[in-house]
Structure 1
Amino acid sequence: MPPYDDWNKFDDEDDEELQDTLFFESKKDVILFCIDCSESMLALYDDPNYEDVQTCHLYAALEAAMQIQKKKIIVGPNDSVGILLFNITRKSEQAQSHASEIKKNTFVYQPITPLGAPKVQELIQLLDAAREDPNELTKTFPPLVGKRVPMGDVFTSCNWVLRDGAPKTASKRVFLITDEDDPHAGPGSKQLITSARTTLIDLTQAGVTVEPFFISTENKPFHVSKFYSSVLLPSNLNDEDELQEDSSVLPESISISRIEDLLAQMRFHEVPKRAQYSVPLQLGEGFTIGVKGYGLVTEQKKGAYKYFVDLGDRMEVATVKTTYIDEDQEAEVDKAKIFYGPALGAAAANDDEDNQDADDGFGTRAVKYGNRPFYTAEEIRSFRTLGLEPGIKLLGFKDRTELAFEDNIKHSQFIYPDEMSYSGSKRTFSALLKSMIKKEKIGLALALTRRNSSPIFCYLLPQEEKVDDSGWSEPAGFHIIPLPFADDIRSAPIEEGFRASEDLKDYARAWIDKLSVKNGTYPPDSYPNPALAYHNAQLQASAFREQYDPDSFEDLTAPKLEMIHKRAGNLLGEWKSAVNNDESANVTVATTGSKRKADVTVDEAEIRSKYDAGALAKLRVDQLKEFLKAKGQAVSGKKAELMERVAEWFDAH
């Protein structure tokens, strides 16, 4: 198996909590919209949202691309977006300035470049013109009549555009939008299918993910099985033999039955699935496979601001750089020569000798009495990692019933096999997963996910693949649940409370059933953070020089009071009356108060002022005893004796 030694993907000095944020900010995302411009995509139909207005599928696709670009300018300013159009017969004069032909009848309308307001405003102007004149898109992008561009040429064009314009380290994706389910009908279709599949493999091997958005309508339903099921293959854990037996490799749910669902689906796929780490999973001595780890829960925050320098004619971004300067030599110090030590108060007189004695390596180094110990960067890293290399080591198995609720103190991560690092990882991973699910076992492992993090013990909870009625699929893999250490869990006081009666429970259950979420699930994508959405809306209006109306903002998380009272108003009133009439609900539990300890701390300067003024008698006995105890004097005797000892101490000092 090939080795995997590219561990250090983060700055060693960053804390573990900061690494995830820095990683997501620095990782660039590139989206190439690959849009079909055939006659059916340009066919006009009545707009369902506006009266006496006609639109087409190409308009909806370009509008979705525009909305994604406007949003990414705010939440992902480092990302890039491009638009590739195919099945165009020629370039129009309007598109002559910024459209270029790649393959025959395939044009780049917007090359892959960093996002900017002028680039989006050009697309907005085109859409405004198409809204006034429904035939504007047909004039600008005349469709290819009587034939279609081979999909192999489309995938090749996408590969060329991403190769020339996208950064190598970015996550690259192609959003394929079309309404034609059989682009190569007729003679020679088998050869064209083979060509499309071959070029798609070349595209995916270059690190590009193709996410299809198939438009299906009542007049023209989209059948995935005609062409795309034999070209596009999902990446799952099934063996190759099982894939050949399965005829429907693509779910029908990727077809969009309504054109207005296109933007909703794109927003769901907008955030790329980025692996946070790639480490080996050691199943036994000399038996290792590769896995990738994904974070299932990530908080979306406001974008970080930047510093700008006014150069008169332009504004330039100011880069922040940290350097260490030697004051004596007035020169920059090499980072490799810097040592680390604990803050133990004033520096010892001979700290320089410690620097000379500090040699490299991990051996024991004696430190002279009264001197401060120093450590190298490698030693500090070894303290954090305990000398372990990044990876996950399987220690054993336990019954699934031994996984307790209180064991989950931090959100879990999800691991998936990585075939690129170790050949055969998918087969081995799938066999282990199926066996653990069948035997109802969980794995106990020791995990170090990054070089500058700390090792943790964790449970490996298997999850089999599931597909619900809406088409949402839960992938097969393992959840890594970090286990708590002894000091992570504190025992809470056990207090027995009053239990509600069965009648009171029935009253509550009645209105809860009326207000429950449909299908018993909460869709987080339908409820964006209102504070974040309000902030981004104002930034977007400022970037595009639009007038923003704060009253137009809709908080989707605000409770719908009218609907609540309409559905369960009477039931809520009955439950409230039942609670008021329940005896246990009106009982107040009396708690014994603890007497607060008196504050006996007195400043030495205050006691000295009392001594100088001859007013030590104004101090309390406990204050005199506290002072004498701090000075190492006896605290026995009456107040007069204590005052005498305090006076003697001040006389001597």
Structure 2
Amino acid sequence: MDSWHDDDSDNERDELADDTQYGGKDAILFLVDAASPRMHQKGNEEEDSPFQMTLKCAHATLRNKIFASPNDVIGVLLFGTERSFGVKDFEHLSLLLPMGIPEGRNITMIEDKVNDIKDLEKEVGELGGQGCKVAIHEALWQCQSLFNDIKGKVAMRKIILFTSNDDPHENEPVLKKQAMKKANDLSDTGIVLEVVPLSSTFDWSKFYKDVISKDDNDDDAQVLGTEACMQKLDDLMRLVRKRVHKKRSSGRCCLDLGKGVKLAVSSYSFVQRAYKPSKIRLTRDTNEEVRTLRQFIDSNSGAPLLTCDISKFMEYGKQKIKLTQDEVRATQKALLDGTYGLKLLTFKPMSDMKWSDFVRSSHFIYPDEKSIRGSRTLFGALLMRCIARKVMAICSYKARETSSPSFVALYPQEEETDPSDGAQKTPPGFLIVYLPFVDDFRELPTNLRPLLESSDEQKSVAKKVIKKLKMKNYDPEAFENPTLQTHYRLVEALALQKADVEDDDNVDSTMPPFDIMKRRLGTLSQEFIEATEPDESLVEMVKGDVKKRPAPTSHFRAKRQKEDDCGSHADMADMVKSKKVDKLKVEDLKAFLKSVGIPVSNKRKADLVQAIYDHHK
């Protein structure tokens, strides 16, 4: 029988589980404008053109996907090229990267094209030249055809269009109408079209406002004109990473407000710990993956056991209480009357929230209009009233039927936007804050030393140090896990057959800038050390609190004395003279003989005693 107890595995399953509706791989197609002259203009020789920045974003996406989502499909299609390349049905289209899973050769190929644009022009013709023509509807037709050729279940199909031309069909009403019609057809078939502007003077109202996809259930699929036009590579990569990432719900449930009033919500994880990929065992000769099988065997008969043959137990009063698998599941389901989801219990002031009572990472919930119509309206009304009255909702919560129950606080979160460009910084909704049970609290030690009062001089110096070392505009996204990044870079270097890893890829962003800190502090560090140096009275007080080691007991002293006597050659000689060697234990005899280099294996006590007598002859 297996020991059964409730642990934190339920919490991990709740965070890692994805909604089954989103099962399948993601397909992302980079649709890049190669006709606009502004896509190929550089501010100076050291800077990249918007076209090169776009290819670098595709390159970075491939590098990320090959570790994070190796089954996703990525492609790059250029429109407005002088000649067609890799496309048979339409002119002025070039398939730079066919739709496929991220592979080392694709990463190397994109990297070579970025570094040598002239080599790319040998295949697709002059970029941004006079002979480049644009037909958006044909490019969208080709995108749909590429998506249709993908085999297997696809969860998300998205086109990310990069351009600096805000009106590609100026004075061409027929082509503009065809493009809008085709964009609507893509939306009807579930293909999302998003546009990333690469010009500071981009005007959405001319063409693209009526072309991009709009999802009524996803506020993030908004008109990208509310975001600043990307003119820096880091900003563009950040935006592309945001657009490529699919917001997968960690679960869906109902929020029961009482008296039969329910609304549907989806939960999301804001933060989830990233781990290294699991190791895969391969056979040494063929490099084939090793298949692992786990089987339980009856220790008495040696027969294999089925799942129904295995019971679990809980120990109570040194007695094993046996539970079958069905009884375990029934026990889990019976909690909270067999229901799961959120159930409103009461409201509490937001000021009652103690952030020190941390149990586990919080989740974020948002209304799910597809499951229950009207959920968004009711959710919005509840959120606005909680914010207005500064209260939080206390609920019971079970993420799934067999999950452990919890008491949670629905902490209201108001929407925040960037005043400069109107982009959303914080979405509106409720944070699910897990509340501790009485069993989760721990008592503090009662013998803690009282806090020492700091002098005004010490406080003044400490304030100066803090002011000098204060980090402005802290952003956690600026710090990568050095362990993960080093692991990925080494694996990537081996896969792409690179001689060595670039130094820029191995920079540990978590290391403090010691030179800058030293320059900012100046003499303040020495002043802080001198101001906080303890005086003699404090040192004496701390020394007085240190407890002396307790003296050994008489039994321990006698045992230690015997061990010392046995280990001493002089004492052993005395025992030989008094003929008391046989009074010692076998362990003591062996220890002495080993110390003088005499073998003791396969010898009885009489042989050990005789060996000691022989040694002293």
Same fold (TM over 0.5): yes
* 1:500 and 2:454 correspond: yes
Report how many aligned residue pairs link the two structures.
539
Contact 1:88–1:106 under 8 Å retained in 2: yes
What is the match of residue 481 of structure 1?
433
Q: Distance in 1 between matches of 2:402 and 2:441?
A: 25
What is the match of residue 215 of structure 1?
198
Residue of structure 2 aligned with 1:183, choices 168, 171, 192: 168
1:534 is paired with a residue of what secondary structure? Answer: helix
For residue 324 of structure 2, what is the amino acid of its counterpart?
A: Y
Contact 2:458–2:528 under 8 Å retained in 1: yes
Contact 2:269–2:362 under 8 Å retained in 1: yes
Q: Distance in 2 between matches of 1:515 and 1:123?
A: 41
Q: Distance in 1 between matches of 2:311 and 2:154?
A: 33
User: How much does 1:65 deviate?
Assistant: 0.8
Contact 2:364–2:432 under 8 Å retained in 1: yes
What is the match of residue 252 of structure 2?
278
User: How much does 1:327 deviate?
Assistant: 9.5
* 1:421 and 2:371 correspond: yes
Identity across the alignment (%): 26
Q: Distance in 2 between matches of 1:45 and 1:263?
A: 18
2:393 is paired with a residue of what secondary structure? Answer: strand
Q: Distance in 2 between matches of 1:406 and 1:332?
A: 49
Spell out the pairing of 1:549-560 with structure 2 (5 A cutoff): 549=501, 553-560=506-513
> Alpha carbon RMSD of aligned pairs, Å?
4.1
1:272 is paired with a residue of what secondary structure? Answer: coil
Contact 2:333–2:401 under 8 Å retained in 1: yes
TM-superposition CA deviations, 1:28-68 (whole Å, max 9, x none)? 44432222222326534365437xxxx64323212221222
* 1:373 and 2:370 correspond: no
Contact 2:94–2:124 under 8 Å retained in 1: no
2:312 is paired with a residue of what secondary structure? Answer: coil
What is the match of residue 199 of structure 1?
185
TM-superposition CA deviations, 1:297-320 (whole Å, max 9, x none)? 1111111121224674xx433344
* 1:399 and 2:349 correspond: yes
For residue 73 of structure 2, what is the amino acid of its counterpart?
A: S
User: How much does 1:215 deviate?
Assistant: 0.8
What is the match of residue 63 of structure 2?
70
* 1:304 and 2:257 correspond: no
Structure 1 106/450 Cα, relative in aligned 2: closer, same or farther at 3 Å? Answer: farther
Contact 2:40–2:128 under 8 Å retained in 1: no
Q: Distance in 2 between matches of 1:428 and 1:90?
A: 54
User: How much does 1:546 deviate?
Assistant: 0.1
Contact 1:307–1:318 under 8 Å retained in 2: yes
Q: Which runs of 5+ in 2 are unaligned?
A: 1-7, 557-581, 586-617
Structure 1 179/518 Cα, relative in aligned 2: closer, same or farther at 3 Å? Answer: same
User: How much does 1:199 deviate?
Assistant: 3.4
What is the match of residue 17 of structure 1?
12
User: How much does 1:16 deviate?
Assistant: 3.9
Residue of structure 2 aligned with 1:451, choices 380, 401, 404: 401
User: How much does 1:125 deviate?
Assistant: 3.4
User: How much does 1:437 deviate?
Assistant: 0.8
Contact 1:385–1:454 under 8 Å retained in 2: no
Q: Distance in 2 between matches of 1:105 and 1:392?
A: 55
Q: Distance in 2 between matches of 1:458 and 1:80?
A: 39
* 1:527 and 2:479 correspond: yes
TM-superposition CA deviations, 1:161-193 (whole Å, max 9, x none)? 334426435444433222122334336388467
User: How much does 1:86 deviate?
Assistant: 2.5
User: How much does 1:233 deviate?
Assistant: 6.5
TM-score by length of structure 2 reads 0.75
Q: Distance in 2 between matches of 1:547 and 1:318?
A: 30
What is the match of residue 383 of structure 1?
331
Residue of structure 2 aligned with 1:87, choices 49, 55, 80: 80
Q: Distance in 1 between matches of 2:552 and 2:250?
A: 53
Q: Distance in 2 between matches of 1:157 and 1:422?
A: 36
1:459 is paired with a residue of what secondary structure? Answer: strand
1:381 is paired with a residue of what secondary structure? Answer: helix
User: How much does 1:474 deviate?
Assistant: 0.6
Structure 1 290/122 Cα, relative in aligned 2: closer, same or farther at 3 Å? Answer: same
Q: Distance in 1 between matches of 2:486 and 2:289?
A: 26
User: How much does 1:560 deviate?
Assistant: 1.0
Q: Which moved more, 1:225-234 or 1:506-515?
A: 225-234
User: How much does 1:280 deviate?
Assistant: 1.9
What is the match of residue 520 of structure 2?
567
TM-score by length of structure 1 reads 0.71
For residue 195 of structure 1, what is the amino acid of its counterpart?
A: K
* 1:318 and 2:298 correspond: no
Q: Distance in 1 between matches of 2:115 and 2:218?
A: 47
TM-superposition CA deviations, 1:331-356 (whole Å, max 9, x none)? 97665x344221769xxxxxxxxxxx
Q: Distance in 1 between matches of 2:126 and 2:133?
A: 19
User: How much does 1:444 deviate?
Assistant: 0.7
Q: Distance in 1 between matches of 2:370 and 2:10?
A: 29
User: How much does 1:264 deviate?
Assistant: 4.2
For residue 232 of structure 2, what is the amino acid of its counterpart?
A: R
1:405 is paired with a residue of what secondary structure? Answer: coil
* 1:37 and 2:34 correspond: yes
User: How much does 1:396 deviate?
Assistant: 2.2
Contact 2:314–2:320 under 8 Å retained in 1: no
Structure 1 154/344 Cα, relative in aligned 2: closer, same or farther at 3 Å? Answer: same
Contact 1:216–1:258 under 8 Å retained in 2: no
User: How much does 1:321 deviate?
Assistant: 4.4
What is the match of residue 101 of structure 2?
114
TM-superposition CA deviations, 1:367-418 (whole Å, max 9, x none)? xxx99634233x3123234353431122221111221223332211011111
Q: Distance in 1 between matches of 2:397 and 2:498?
A: 50
User: How much does 1:108 deviate?
Assistant: 3.9
Q: Distance in 1 between matches of 2:555 and 2:362?
A: 47
For residue 65 of structure 2, what is the amino acid of its counterpart?
A: K
Structure 1 422/594 Cα, relative in aligned 2: closer, same or farther at 3 Å? Answer: farther
Structure 1 422/72 Cα, relative in aligned 2: closer, same or farther at 3 Å? Answer: same
What is the match of residue 9 of structure 1?
none
Contact 1:580–1:586 under 8 Å retained in 2: no
Residue of structure 2 aligned with 1:579, choices 509, 519, 532: 532
Structure 1 339/325 Cα, relative in aligned 2: closer, same or farther at 3 Å? Answer: closer
Q: Distance in 2 between matches of 1:488 and 1:224?
A: 54
User: How much does 1:85 deviate?
Assistant: 2.6
